[in-house]
Structure 1
Amino acid sequence: MTSVSTATPTPRAPALWGLLFVLAGNMLLDALEVSVALVALPSIGDDLHLAPPQAQWVVSGFAAGFGGLLLFGGRLVALLGRRPVYLAALAVFAAASLAGALADDGYVLVASRVVKGFCAALTAPTGMAIIASVFPEGRARSRAVAVYSLFGAGGFSAGLLLSGALTEVSWRWAFAFPAPVALLLFAAGLRLIPRDGPAPDGPDAVGAKAGGKAPGRYNTASALCLTGAVLALVYAVTTVPGAGWGAPRTLGAFALAAVLAAVFVRRETTGGHPLVRLDLLAREPLVRSALGAGALNGSYLGLLLVSTLHLQQRAGWSPLETGLAFLPASAPLALTALYSGRIAARFGPARLIAAGAAAAPLGYALYPRDGRPDVSYATDVLPTMLLVGAAFVLAFTAFHLQATAAVPDGRQAEASGLYQTAVQLGAALVTAAAAALYPSGPARSLLLVTAVGLFGLLLALRGLRPRRAAHRAAP
């Protein structure tokens, strides 16, 4: 079979660092999208007359678009090339930002968030691939990866501050400001992102043919089934507290999610062009890492959602005060991003994951459950945020390293895609459930968040058990 060369011309040194500015700047935008929405959520709910179970879609919609379409995004990049997909995603991201900022009802706003999640699914992993293809191996590439990772880790904290400040004026500014930034990055990317061809046939581009028209090679149906299953499940979760488990719409949403998930699995196991080969699920360390990271990310965002509603609606804090209050939970990861790999190598991923998974539910348990308005930051909020921040410093990079180390050489990209999908889907589902329970009081939401954190701890403790037999490598 004839394959297309993927050789990418290497730009000169000044252009290389300009390219890194584009890639890292976009990674910053992708990372701050969730925190921007969290801090602005009470203001959005008040303005658009949305209760917490409806307003939470602004957070879970982005995560569902990101996680549900991440594998499909990898296929698009493999078949169409990195440059055109990356640039198109930047342009659509800018348009969706403006649409969300101008939205007058929740449906338009949520739709824009799902679209932005898909754009992030296209650009976040592709940026690292571009760095690997154009930066010379060695010190230059290491520095580029470090800068890229630092911007990604710092994006969440930046979003807290920007959203807190802008939401003081209007939540719409918090959603609009990424648009001109994305357009600036698009203009620079037109000049700096090198041209490349579609990927040759391989595990990340099954069925791709040079110039060919292999039927179903995009596998759009699988992507739509997975995303639809996630959205249906989120909807079902949000209806349970109000309508009950036996309500027709609840049962219908759960049934739709199950049917779409079953169709996705069948297509992936029997079709000729799967988005991901599901035999990876036989790798226990990968599955344990994906579920554990999903539990940590989901419980963390669930906590921040509950705390945002509590601090702004009941305690009377401003959006900026709320964003500043959350910094101890997010800033430590950004400050240690450059050293996280060395820390994991020094102590081993399994031990760091267990320590982080223990710190998170302890922090959740310390947060006040009575929803009282007289909140002391030093005693009621700060201890929780410090423990959650420690959990991410200890565990998050270790999770990814453990996940990708559990698969044979050549399949790390597949494993990383599956892992990142689980991380985003955990965020979508737990935030939805926490918001659905919140109208009856913070206590039930926090109990759920703590239970999810304890589930992650149980998975982490399983990883500490000595292995009785060497795992047989997959063919």
Structure 2
Amino acid sequence: MSISSGARVGARWALVSVLAANMLVDALEVSATLVALPAVGSGLGAPVTGVQWIVTGFAAGFGGALLLGGRLVEWLGRRRVFLAALLVFAAASLGGALTDRLDLLVATRVVKGFCVALTAPTGLAIILAAVPDGEPRRRAVSLYSLFGAAGFCSGLLLSGSLTGAGWRWTLAFPAPVALALFALGLRVVPRESARPGGGPRWHAVVTGGALTGAVLLLVDALARGRWGGAVAAAAAALVGVRAERASPRPLVDTALLRHAPLVRSALGAAALNGSYVSFLLVAVLDLRRGGWSSWETALAFLPAGAPLALTALHSGRIAARLGPARAVAAGAVAAPAGYALYPDSGAGGVRYAELLPSMSLVGLAFVLAFTALHLQATSGLAPGLRTAAGGLYQTCVQLGAALTPALTSALYATSGRSAALWLVTAVGLAGAGVALAGLAHPSTDPS
């Protein structure tokens, strides 16, 4: 599938531009909907525990499909999976914007998460296969990563601009963009032969479906406080485990579960991402209740996302200079410090200057820890295992963003903002504890 050396450089960069633009759209999904949540809840008459599904449903679809997505690419080919996911993503975006039912909107969010689980890693795989090794590939991957990091800020600004005109515009915006990228992708994404995996495929499908179902059931149980949902989630997880154990080619190599740096990184990243999304969920509800507009809220959130975008091209150097374990620990400590500094709204409400220290510390946490966590997760692994380790790690990142906000929304609805913030801070502190423990057992490459 590689582009020949005689091909025009312009064709190669047209491909990279399409894939990077798609990564931008994928990445803005969380931040755009976060800012729009109060408006969506008001428009559909949904409580906090219902409207949180717009965020957690997307994360559940994303995390549940990542492991299966890699196998689908093997069976069907990168081009077909990427382009088909773009079409379904566009349809789900339009369907979510037009529906007046929360359950249908949530369903479209789960589907969109599934699509992003296919397009994001597949786009990177296409770049690695199509762009020659060396400086061209380094620049292409850097551009792809930069657009992903910039997606959060783009989503904030987009939602701040569109939500004022109506929350449906925020949800509908990705549809025409995805269709345009599909049309361009038909022209620039190279064709390649599918490489069917050997053996039966039903094990992988059952495992992926059971994992997604278990996460959705657990999110529902946490948001509603129903033990029955937790039991159903456990049963679905058991089905997935049994299918995985019976598979001649499991989705997860069990050797990865014995790799301590990967396990620590996955737990730490789940705590960091879950507490981060939950913190912004509490903040957006608090600020909108205090009379802030969607645009004002978006600007208030920028310090929590802009630092990562501004340092995206240098994040690897930062992690290398500090050492991954120290960078992770510093970021993991900065995050709960930021949560704890969130100002008490009081009678006069929150001012922007009062929010700045809290949001800035949270943004600093991601600058320090985000790339370092991924580097730590794959350190010491054989090259053949690093792709699988990355998929398992990213699955945990998304599961954190699905489960923690669900419980946070339940606490916010029943006990108020302070209790929800205490939970967010506790999750962040748990991640800090894992990171600090990693300092005592730093990752080392095998001799």
Instruction: Give the alignment's TM-score, normalised by structure 2.
Output: 0.96
Higher helix proportion: 2
SS in 2 for 1:173: helix
Match of residue 26, structure 2, among 6, 20, 30: 30
* Structure-1 residue corresponding to 2:281: 305
Matched, 1:394 2:379: no
Matched, 1:226 2:211: yes
Whole-angstrom distance in 1 between the partners of 2:203 and 2:77: 13
Whole-angstrom distance in 1 between the partners of 2:278 and 2:372: 22
Contact 2:95 2:108 in 1 (8 A): yes
SS in 1 for 2:133: coil
Contact 1:91 1:186 in 2 (8 A): yes
Deviations 1:77-124 (A, max 9, x none): 111110000000001100000000001010110000000000000000
Matched, 1:408 2:404: no
Whichever residue aligns with residue 195 of structure 1, its letter is: R
Gaps of 5+ in 2: none
Contact 1:79 1:198 in 2 (8 A): yes
Deviations 1:127-167 (A, max 9, x none): 11111111111111111111100000000000001001100
Contact 1:9 1:195 in 2 (8 A): no
Whichever residue aligns with residue 406 of structure 2, its letter is: A
* Structure-2 residue corresponding to 1:205: none
Deviations 1:395-423 (A, max 9, x none): 00000011111422211010000000000
Deviations 1:336-365 (A, max 9, x none): 000001111111100000000010000100
Contact 1:310 1:371 in 2 (8 A): no
Matched, 1:343 2:318: yes
Matches within 5 A, 1:35-434: 35-199=31-195, 208-209=197-198, 214-216=199-201, 219-240=204-225, 250-313=226-289, 315-369=290-344, 372=347, 374-379=349-354, 381-434=355-408
Query: Cα 1:470–1:332, aligned 2, differ >3 Å: closer, same or farther?
Result: closer
SS in 2 for 1:411: helix
* Structure-1 residue corresponding to 2:436: 461
Matched, 1:14 2:47: no
Whole-angstrom distance in 1 between the partners of 2:444 and 2:388: 22
Whole-angstrom distance in 2 between the partners of 1:21 and 1:218: 36
Whichever residue aligns with residue 230 of structure 1, its letter is: V
Query: Cα 1:225–1:175, aligned 2, differ >3 Å: closer, same or farther?
Result: same
Whole-angstrom distance in 2 between the partners of 1:470 and 1:422: 22
Whole-angstrom distance in 1 between the partners of 2:347 and 2:267: 33
Whole-angstrom distance in 2 between the partners of 1:51 and 1:287: 35
Query: Cα 1:419–1:371, aligned 2, differ >3 Å: closer, same or farther?
Result: farther
Whole-angstrom distance in 2 between the partners of 1:32 and 1:144: 20
SS in 1 for 2:100: coil
Whole-angstrom distance in 1 between the partners of 2:430 and 2:380: 21
Whole-angstrom distance in 2 between the partners of 1:370 and 1:25: 38
Contact 1:82 1:126 in 2 (8 A): yes
SS in 2 for 1:288: helix
Match of residue 450, structure 1, among 420, 425, 434: 425
Contact 1:160 1:327 in 2 (8 A): yes
* Structure-2 residue corresponding to 1:246: none
Match of residue 437, structure 1, among 397, 403, 411: 411
Deviations 1:261-297 (A, max 9, x none): 1222222223213112233111111010011011101
Deviation at 1:239, TM superposition (A): 1.0
Whole-angstrom distance in 2 between the partners of 1:115 and 1:455: 31
Whichever residue aligns with residue 231 of structure 1, its letter is: L
SS in 2 for 1:168: helix
Contact 2:203 2:247 in 1 (8 A): no
Whole-angstrom distance in 1 between the partners of 2:37 and 2:342: 20
Runs of 4 or more above 4 Å deviation: 369-373, 469-473
Deviations 1:445-471 (A, max 9, x none): 10000000000000001110046x989
Whichever residue aligns with residue 252 of structure 1, its letter is: G
Contact 1:371 1:442 in 2 (8 A): no
Whole-angstrom distance in 1 between the partners of 2:372 and 2:97: 36
Whichever residue aligns with residue 320 of structure 2, its letter is: A
SS in 2 for 1:464: helix
Deviation at 1:189, TM superposition (A): 0.3
Whole-angstrom distance in 1 between the partners of 2:317 and 2:361: 21
Whichever residue aligns with residue 450 of structure 1, its letter is: T
SS in 2 for 1:219: helix
Deviation at 1:371, TM superposition (A): 6.1
Identical aligned residues as a percent: 60
